[in-house]
Chains A and B, each alone.
Chain A
């Protein structure tokens, strides 16, 4: 089996498993929608960082006891909406809702006195309430223009239906990432958003490479029609490339995650790495297992 995979001689009948893959896709979709609706009804909490909600965060590294945290939570200087501790590091993070600049400075001083560290060693971030919505708006605008452009590009180079399939694969990857974030209650920061945008690029890149291969094999056949045979040979041949590429793409990102975890560092770089890790695996998956059922439907018609 492994040897066959190497050679590209695997004999998976992608055309026949198309309907099965389609069912899997539908189940996935239902799960995503379920998770999203749980989020909308506030059963699951979308953990947005201050960049989106407005407010302040304080991050410090210190030896603390467990009652320190509850004491700070009840200090009544600021309304602290969330705090975060880490298993293998002494980092403490507090997040507070918006308040006056004096109150924020007062809290900073309070922390610096309590743990006896200079206040220049405390990370401090303050974000106005409108900033997040501005970033989101700009991001959405960029996304919309980009996607329209991609649809045009794929339509021009291949065909219109292919661009829809690429979009479905893309939305699948984004939904998967979002669902994992919702379920595990990870914090969504601007870094996460950048990572999501990268996933978007990666997912399309992967799908386009596949379409290109499919296009080449179709052209070789008589009449240049996409049929069961070309679908099967193309996807069997391309399997090894997909696996190898996802391995080489995932390794650098995995090393950020593992080295970061080993050093006890949690920060923006790991904020990037996690969604990328999920996204690249999902992108590889979707470029084959989401495109195949749709392609086999096209052939059937």
Chain B
């Protein structure tokens, strides 16, 4: 009874997991090479700090999301300096690459009005309705959407309505045309001199005058119009006001400015602002190492080919095993099918919960692993045959064979697993997907050998004592040396 439980535990787990993935409609997430899309690999200079890389990835993620029609973009750090960006379903490569490659548009724009004053978007104007005083007519400025009152498309050359976050609350600003850009800034750094965080800004010498003139103009205004908005990719990052001690006739001179950020809690936001001012958007200058575009049809063809080849391969291998090993072959085929279902289910679950994507390399790894899994059965069966040959009884031979085979398979699979682990750690991009598939399959192979085959073969040896049911040979021929 106990051995029956051991025998069926793995197939049972495999079948129930497979059933679970089917009823919950969980399927493997397909990589770009199987469904089409654009894949870009960006490389940072050697020695780039991991923290900066993570910052850059965050910024890229928000940008890609702003990009709209991308389904499940994937941006990940791969290796020490590479960033892998996967945009499934995107075929307009120019736009995608633009969103990633350029260092973002940083502009400085005077604030004309903000929702801090009005309570609603400055793009709205409410006119008294003579017929019904309770519901005034809403007038929306051109280029702004009706719901939020934000500019649909941000044009730095004309008035725009853009969103910003002010002490945790969303604020909609009405902004004038851009007066300065990120190119006018030479450096920015966050400092903490007197219990207050300050972002110290340095302008390029040729831009000093522009900045002085701009601050003169702003210093003569009051309230919201005294503010200068720092805009990155259509979002107001910060809108500091010009200090009250700035003389409207002089402005801020000398090419230096300080933005007060507040007390000791503001360290992080001060650093972020400094990074944005310094680098535009990405804190790292990336090199575009690789851009690859795959059309949807090619991806689909490849997937079909992989599936068909996998199924045909599995069927032929099964027929071969059944013809050669007969009843033992049934053990192998049943085990291999459970193995396949388990593998598919785990890949699907990994896709859903760990974000694993099944790529071509992964399929190749899976197909290779069919061969490796089949080999474990063959090794066991051949050892069984060798034991029978020297005249051992069926049950004894079976027990010895599964134990010996386990030792052999353990060390051989250990080689495969260490290859997979090393590849996974050291390699980048598609090789990782391959390594994971191979490593996972080898691990399952070990499990099946240890729990399933180890019990199945001795069980069979109790049922039949006829070699003809296990091998294409008579016992007489086998032992007749």
Contacts and interface: CB of A to CB of B under 8 A. Distances in A.
Interface of A: 3, 6-9, 51, 59, 61, 105, 120-128, 130-131, 134-135, 138-139, 141-142, 145-146, 149-150, 153, 157, 190-191, 193-195, 197-198, 200-202, 204-205, 208-209, 212-213, 216, 237-238, 240-241, 244-245, 247-256, 259-260, 263, 265, 267-269, 272-273, 276, 280
B310 interface: yes
B426 A7 contact: no
Contacts of A190: 429-431
A7 B309 contact: no
B427 A142 contact: yes
Contacts of B137: none
Contacts, number: 227
Contact of B372 (A131, A205, A237, A269): A205
Nearest to A260: B305
B219 to A, nearest CB: 43
Contacts of B291: 124-127
27 contacts: A3-B473, A59-B298, A121-B295, A125-B290, A126-B291, A126-B292, A127-B289, A128-B43, A131-B43, A141-B426, A146-B422, A150-B418, A193-B431, A195-B364, A201-B438, A248-B378, A249-B372, A252-B367, A253-B371, A256-B305, A259-B305, A259-B308, A263-B305, A269-B305, A272-B360, A272-B361, A272-B364
Interface string B76-119: 00010010000000011110000000000000000000000000
Contacts of B382: 8, 237-238, 240-241, 244
B324 interface: yes
Contacts of A260: 305, 309
B290 A51 contact: yes
B368 interface: yes
Contacts of B162: none
Interface string B286-314: 01111111110110011001101110111
Interface stretch (B54-62, B407-415, B453-461): B407-415
Nearest to A91: B298
A200 B419 contact: yes
Contacts of B23: none
B434 interface: yes
Interface string B153-167: 000000000000000
B440 interface: no
Q: 4 smallest A-B Cβ distances: which pairs? A: A252-B313, A249-B371, A120-B91, A131-B289
B422 A249 contact: no
Contacts of B378: 241, 244-245, 248
Contact of B412 (A59, A130, A208): A208
B428 A135 contact: yes
B419 A267 contact: no
B470 to A, nearest CB: 12
Range, interface on chain B: 35 or more
B309 A138 contact: no
Contact of B306 (A150, A204, A269, A280): A269
A208 B33 CA distance: 35
A200 to B, nearest CB: 7
A170 B41 CA distance: 32
A6 B372 contact: no
A167 to B, nearest CB: 13
A138 B310 contact: no
Contacts of B389: 7-8
B452 interface: no
Given A142-B423, A197-B431, A267-B298, A204 B415 contact: yes
A296 B218 CA distance: 92
Given A128-B289, A146-B422, A208 B415 contact: yes
Interface stretch (B63-71, B139-147, B174-182, B315-323): B315-323
A276 B368 contact: yes
Nearest to B420: A201
B472 interface: yes
A72 to B, nearest CB: 19
Contacts of A8: 382, 385-386, 389
Contacts of A247: 320
B408 A252 contact: no
Given A190-B431, A249-B371, A268-B33, 19 more contacts: A128-B287, A128-B288, A139-B427, A194-B364, A195-B364, A204-B415, A212-B411, A241-B378, A248-B321, A248-B370, A251-B317, A253-B313, A253-B371, A255-B308, A259-B308, A263-B301, A265-B302, A272-B364, A276-B364
Contacts of A193: 431
A255 B375 contact: no
A194 B472 contact: no
B373 to A, nearest CB: 9
B412 A252 contact: no
B374 interface: yes
B428 to A, nearest CB: 7
A194 B427 CA distance: 10
B456 to A, nearest CB: 18
A198 B92 CA distance: 35
B287 A138 contact: no
B313 A269 contact: no
A218 to B, nearest CB: 14
Given A7-B473, A194-B434, A251-B320, A125 B293 contact: yes
A269 B418 contact: no
B386 A6 contact: no
Contacts of B372: 205, 249
Contacts of B33: 268
Contacts of B407: 212
B211 interface: no
B478 interface: yes
Nearest to A120: B91
A253 B408 CA distance: 25
Contact of A149 (B316, B365, B422, B427): B422
B477 interface: yes
Contacts of B408: 209, 212-213
B471 interface: yes
